[in-house]
Amino acid sequence: MRLRRGATPYLLGLPAGLWLGIFFVVPIVTVLSVSLQTGNPDTGYALTWNFSIFGTVINQYHTELLRSFEYGLISTVIALVICYPMAYWIAFHGGRHKSTYLFLILLPFFVSFVIRTLSWQFILSDRGIVLGNLKSWGIIPSSLHVLSTPFAVIAGLTYNALPFMALPLYVALEKIDRRVVQAANDLYASPRATFTRVIVPLSSAGIFAGILLVFVTNVGDYVNAAILGGPGTTMIGNVIETSYLENLDYPTASALSSILMAAMLLIIWLYARTFGTQAVEEAVT
């Protein structure tokens, strides 16, 4: 990198900087101010520094908040367990076909997120191609339902998370110097020891990057709960969506998004401080 000062970098960065400042940074501050307003959709809202709203919404929606974190955590762990062996095999034994495997991992991205989730509704429905047939053959009891259960929502969240988890894992595993693994072998490390004490620690950047991307996305998701879930699986995103777009209850909605955002920013900040931003950005490129 050449050390040059002067106006050039600012001029180059200005348009995008302004855009991100006005339409990303400022809104995050605005949402907090809207949550401190009182009023109703008909008479309008005024800023009254109504801090009690946070206590009120936490009281009212703590079930949904906790449920979002629970679903987010479970789906993240399952996605990690599913993806790690696959990413490992592709990175270490994919040979010439690595990029083909990666392409197959990314295949779901070529189908709209809403349609993918809708597809699962077709698969998991009582009369759908899987359950419908299994039931008519008498393999599973006809009283078994999958849609509208937490299982369906978590399955959908996990499915949609797979590429986001697999990609950073693959990037990290791929970067491991094979000679280090060879050295562990030469020093009589058992396969298990090589794996747990060499490969896993060396791929930890990818593990944490995957966890961050998937957990943050899934805690805030409401599409899976809306399409695959039922009344008992409402997540915090669903509450924010209905308060904003249907009930026009802006203070409640923005108080909830402020809480969610504060929690997520804390996680993102802790992550960036501990691990740096490289692993996540490499997974993107």
**Contact status, residue 108 vs residue 162, Cβ threshold 8 Å:** yes
Helices then strands (H, E): number in the chain? 15, 2
How many residues bind another protein (CB under 8 A)? The answer is 114
49 binds another protein (CB under 8 A): no
Select from 48-56, 58-66, 113-121, 136-144 the region that touches another protein (CB under 8 A).
113-121
Among 27, 55, 201, 232, binds another protein (CB under 8 A): 27
The residues in 122-181 that bind another protein, with binding defined as CB under 8 A, are 122-123, 125-129, 132, 151, 154, 159, 162-163, 181
**Contact status, residue 208 vs residue 181, Cβ threshold 8 Å:** no
Residue 76, C-beta contacts closer than 8 angstroms, at least 6 positions apart: 161, 165, 211, 214, 215, 218
Could you give the string, one character per residue 231-250, with x where binding to another protein holds by CB under 8 A and - elsewhere?
A: ------x--xx--xx----x
Among 46, 115, 139, 187, binds another protein (CB under 8 A): 115
Is the CB of 51 or the CB of 109 nearer to another protein?
A: 109
The residues in 243-282 that bind another protein, with binding defined as CB under 8 A, are 244-245, 250, 253-254, 257, 260-261, 264-265, 268, 271-272, 277, 280-282
Q: How far apart are CA 269 and CA 263, in angstroms?
A: 10
Q: How far apart are CA 37 and CA 60, in angstroms?
A: 18
Identify residue 31 by its one-letter amino acid code.
V
217 binds another protein (CB under 8 A): yes
Residue 201, Cβ neighbours under 10 Å: how many? 11
Question: Could you tell me the smallest distance in angstroms from the CB atom of residue 177 to another protein?
Answer: 15
**Contact status, residue 50 vs residue 37, Cβ threshold 8 Å:** yes
Token readout for 6 is 């002067």
- Is the alpha carbon torsion for 124, 67, 273, 20 positive or negative? positive
25 binds another protein (CB under 8 A): yes
67 binds another protein (CB under 8 A): no
Select from 55-63, 136-144, 209-217 the region that touches another protein (CB under 8 A).
209-217
Question: Could you tell me the smallest distance in angstroms from the CB atom of residue 268 to another protein?
Answer: 5
53 binds another protein (CB under 8 A): no
Could you give the string, one character per residue 81-110, with x where binding to another protein holds by CB under 8 A and - elsewhere?
A: xxxxxx-xxx-xx-----x-x-xxx-xxxx
At residue 187's C-alpha, the angle toward residues 186 and 188, to 5°, is 90
Alpha-carbon torsion, ordered 134, 139, 143, 148, to 10 deg: -50
Q: How far apart are CA 49 and CA 37, in angstroms?
A: 6
Is the CB of 55 or the CB of 248 nearer to another protein?
A: 248
Q: How far apart are CA 54 and CA 60, in angstroms?
A: 10
Question: Could you tell me the smallest distance in angstroms from the CB atom of residue 234 to another protein?
Answer: 13
Is the CB of 61 or the CB of 88 nearer to another protein?
A: 88
